[in-house]
Amino acid sequence: MQFTVNGTAHQADADIRTSLLDLLRDHLGLTGTKKGCDHGQCGACTVLVNGRRINACLTLAVMHEGDAITTIEGLADGDTLHPVQAAFVRHDGFQCGFCTPGQIMSAVGMLAEVEAGMPSHVSATLDATLDRVSLSEAEISERMSGNLCRCSAYPNIVDAIADVAGMTPAAQAEVDA
């Protein structure tokens, strides 16, 4: 199998039954992506594949031949944190930190979905051509609902994402009203 992980080409000789999560952790040594439930229910294993967020535990590595995969290790630019990583630090969007890599990767993917005009279940309209998706606390919560945090850092996670999205507290209150 050949694919790009965090901008670097990799070739792996893994069993065809190997999940993308296990390939990243066990074969490439990228342990930032966490194995939480191993059933796609917690989001701790979220990575970006060709810019879209997925649960790495639910997909076979062999399905991603030629794909570009981004893990938490590839998000920062050297010592400069990605804006979402910096916002999580600024807003204390973590406690124990186990879910944090998946939360951050999901937030990056979610913000790209919003930018592309993709609606969610709580969007005012399903037709992105009629109305740009306006990001609100409800939108963020719905879009991040596949990522669980046992420590319940949800308010700070939402604040971090709202910060990156440019939602000022006054603008957020206006949208949520």
Q: Which residues contact 91 (CB under 8 A, 6 or more apart)?
A: 156, 157, 159, 160, 163
Cα 80 to Cα 33: distance, rounded to the nearest angstrom = 19
CA atoms within 13 A on the CB side of 125: 9
Residue-level pLDDT at 17: 97
Residue-level pLDDT at 101: 97
Residue-level pLDDT at 147: 95
Amino acid making up residue 90: R
Sheet containing 8-11: order of strands: 8-11, 2-5, 68-70, 46-49, 52-55
Residue-level pLDDT at 146: 94
Residue-level pLDDT at 134: 74
Query: CB–CB of 2/68 below 8 Å?
Result: no
Q: What is the pLDDT along the chain (177 residues), one digit of tens a residue?
A: 899 999 999 999 999 999 999 999 999 999 999 999 999 999 999 999 999 999 999 999 999 999 999 999 999 999 999 999 999 999 999 999 999 999 999 999 999 999 888 888 888 776 655 556 678 899 999 999 999 999 999 999 999 999 999 986 644 454 455
